[in-house]
Every structure is written in structure tokens, then in C-alpha cells.
Amino acid sequence: MTAELTRLGASALAEAIASGQSSAEEVTRAHLDRIEAVDEAVHAFLHVSTESALDQARAVDRARALGDAPVSRLAGVPLALKDIVVQAGVPATAGSKILEGWIPPYDATVTRRLVEAGVVILGKTNLDEFAMGSSTENSAYGPTRNPWDLSRIPGGSGGGSAAALAAFEAPLAIGTDTGGSIRQPAAVTGTVGTKPTYGGVSRYGVIALASSLDQVGPCARTVLDTALLHEVIAGHDPLDSTSIPQPVPLVVDAVRRGQADGVAGMRIGVVSQLRGKGYQAGVLESFDAAVATLAAAGADIVEVDCPHFEYALAAYYLILPSECSSNLARFDAMRYGLRVGDDGTASAEEVMSRTRGAGFGAEVKRRIILGTYALSAGYYDAYYGSAQKVRTLIKQDFEKAFTAADVLVSPASPVTAFAIGEKVNDPLAMYLNDLATIPGSLAGIPAMSVPSGIASDTGLPVGLQIMGPALGEERIYRVAAAFESAYVAAHHRSVPDAAPELEVGVR
């Protein structure tokens, strides 16, 4: 029974705990045992909070034994937390050596909401350094591996969270998405991940990369489980000035509606600019099949034109480095984290330079240099200013598209998981992995990736991206749930169950 618990999703585990079939402690121990068994091969986790997780689980069990009502529908269910979201008393690295040894004295708002909901935090997951990357190869602590094929990447920057789900090390995970760091890992690992509307989930206590783009979001193996987690972490937070003062979207109800009523009468737009050059044949084949599935379920399929999307990648890689250059200036060796070259004779500037040289990885340095240049006198208007103008045009493209369609769809990633090391020395090739996800990030709209099958040319998972207008989370969850139900009905299985057994026993 212990091993079987790790195969259950979050909603099934919550039901088992609520009915007394299992305890929160049993569920947590099963997942901790799974981590011990397989994570040496997968390397999804940077830190495992064994005793803390068991204490949290026992607290849930004690409350139930006393007859207290559960604090949420996910009470007692374990979760993997991306190591860019801080938790008091637990190491936080953001995948970087420059924060090595830092123990945060406070909880992020997301962390606090999880704890208050009785969700059990198993530990912190690996990521590209400061969330800069599409493969989790830029982590200072080594790459995470895709449980479908350990020679391949799990996506990035949130590859650790996605791999933990795909390896059945956790039924829930938290990711952050700046340009696709939830959706692309979900796509290449056969899991589900949502980037909420910008400001829909608090960023307080999340180590900043690009403040006008960063967004925290839920990850799981099913659409329902993702929605349950979404409702726990979302909502206004006065500690975050960008937080939207709006009610939490009723995404769980939207999932139930999608499962029951499907998508009959909904208008689903196919973005012509997000399915052409640069997309793997097997990905496009799977995408076309997904669109056909939605059409068969009663949706009206319309083609939409978003002409400025072709400039999205270039604009993003000016905006993000510029904001990264500003945010990462705080890592100066003076207050916390790594400190190199302080021999008693060196100046503060020398210590700062030596520490940053030793503590930041190559990709982080590349983006800081790009951003600093783009913000420099004489170049600001030509680069950063122009990129922001393109961003406005992309938002306008979306606004026009949503007059013709209720949601938009595209592949979530142009390719399936590629080999570790294949693109790590080619920054442009790596950046192209974000082709489909960056437009939604620039516009701040909600978007998610849901498994859409297995690519015929690689045998690896493909993700369907579903995008909605700002505050349109209920729409995308309804469509995602309807598609997931149709896929399971047609294939008699869900995508996560399709992976072959690996020698390490990951599946």
C-alpha cells in the first residue's frame, strides 16, 4: 500500500486521508521513501525536509483525531516547493552558489498559505540558477533529469518541480513562470502546470528575477489537482504591490464544469504564429490531434492572427535581462550569502567583484551584462524602451484575438525533451524553447500546459498550451479539464501513466 500511495494524485490522497483509509503521516512517509529511492538518479530535490514534513503531517492527523474540520481540501497532501520560494528555517539557494548557506527568517506568502492549508512541504526543488534557463542545466548544483528518459532534460527553469511530479516523488508542486518556466517543464514531463494572471498569486518571498514578468503557479499530474492547489495559493496579498485585489477564481468549479459539460459552443482560437517554423514534427502532429479532439467535443475552432508575436522572443530577451540586472544587484556579498576574497585588505568593491565572479554562473552573467547594456545611457530607448513598445503591441494582439475566441491554444513547447548537454553551449537554441510561452508572459495573461499525448517521432510527452484573457483562469481550466477527459476516454489512460519503466524504477 505504501508504494501505491505515491501513484495516487492529490485529490485521491486527500480522499484517502479524509476517509481514514490512510493517514497524512503514511502518505508523507511513502513520498519520502520514494524520494530516497529514486532522487539520486533524478535529482529533483536540493533539500528534503524529512522531519519538518513528518511533523506537519502528524499535526494534520492530530487535528483529524480531535474531530477538527480539515483546514482545506488538500490537508495532509505532500508538495514539492521550487527553491526560489522561501520557507523560514529552510535553505534557499535559487539554484545559485551566491546564496549558499542562506537560511530565510520568514515565509513567502505562498509558503504561509500552503502551511495554513495543511499541505505538507517535502522540500525544495532544483531549478536553473535564478530561474534563468529552459533545461535546469544552469543550476549550480547539477542538472535534474527527466524521469521519462534520464539522459534528457526536464525543462526549465522549474525542472525540479516537474520531475518530482513525473517521478511520483510528490503529487503537487509549486513553480514560478517568467517566460514559460512552469509550462515548458510540464509539457516535456507529461504533467500539468499553470501560470496564473500576473498578480493573481503573491510574489512576496519569491526571489525576484524579472519583476514585471514573474508569477508563481501550481503544478500537478491532473487538471483537477492543479486547480485545487491554485485555489490554495491564489488571492490578494497586501505585501505584494502587484497583487490583484480580486476574489480567487473558482477554478475547481470550472474543472467540474469542463468534465461534465465539455467545451460545446466555446470558441477556441489556433494562433497561426505558434505552430510553424521551429516546431518539431511530432509536436505539431500531437497538437493537431488535440485541436481535432476539442472540435469533436463541440468547440468551434477558429484561426487567429497575432502578427507581433514574431517579435516576442527578441523583446523578452531585452526586458528580462534588464530587470534581472536590476534585481540581482542586491547580491553584493555585504549582507548575506557567499563572500569571496575578504582577506582583510580588500575593498568592498573588490570583495563584491570576486564574490559575483565566483557565485554567479555563466548564463546569469550573460543576462546581467545584456541587461546592463540595454539600460545604459544612450541605449535605453533603443533597446529596453523599444521592447516595451513591442510588449504593448503583443498585448493588443491578444485583446483582438480574444474578441474572436474564448481561449487560444498552441503547443506549449516547440520540441519534446532534448538531450542533456545538447543545447547548453548555444544560448540562442536554448532561448527558442520559449517560443510558444513568451507571448503570454509578456501580456500577463493566464496560461497552462496540459498533456496532449506522446510525440510519434521521439516517444516523449507533448503539452497543449491553453491561454485565456486576463483573469480568465476559469476558461482555461474548463477547456483543460474537458480535453483531459476526452483524451482519457479516447486512449483509456492518462498521459502520465504512459511512460515506460526505467531501470532506476522511476516508473
Catalytically active residues, by annotation: 82, 157, 181
Burial class (CB in 10 A: 0-12, 13-18, 19+), 18: middle
Burial class (CB in 10 A: 0-12, 13-18, 19+), 296: exposed
Q: How far apart are the first and last CA of the chain?
A: 16
Indicate the SS3 state at residue 177.
coil
Grid cell, residue 294, equals: 476539442
Query: What single-letter DSSP state applies at residue 79?
Result: E
Amino acid symbol at 434 = D
Q: Which residues contact 347 (CB under 8 A, 6 or more apart)?
A: none
Amino acid symbol at 488 = V
> If you write DSSP's letter for every residue of 358-397 in order, what string do you get?
HHS-HHHHHHHHHHHHHTSTTTTIIIIIHHHHHHHHHHHH
The sign of the dihedral angle between the CA atoms of 336, 339, 344, 349 is: negative
CA trace torsion 343, 344, 346, 348 (10° rounding)? 110
β-bridge mates for residue 183, sequence order:
none
Neighbours of 435 (CB within 10 A): 25
Measured between alpha carbons, how far is 150 from 172 in angstroms, rounded to an integer?
21
Among 487, 478, 423, smallest CA distance to 454 is for: 487
Measured between alpha carbons, how far is 353 from 359 in angstroms, rounded to an integer?
10
Among 185, 191, 38, 59, smallest CA distance to 119 is for: 59
- CA 222 to mean position of chain CA atoms: 14
Q: Which residues contact 318 (CB under 8 A, 6 or more apart)?
A: 370, 374, 383, 384, 386, 387
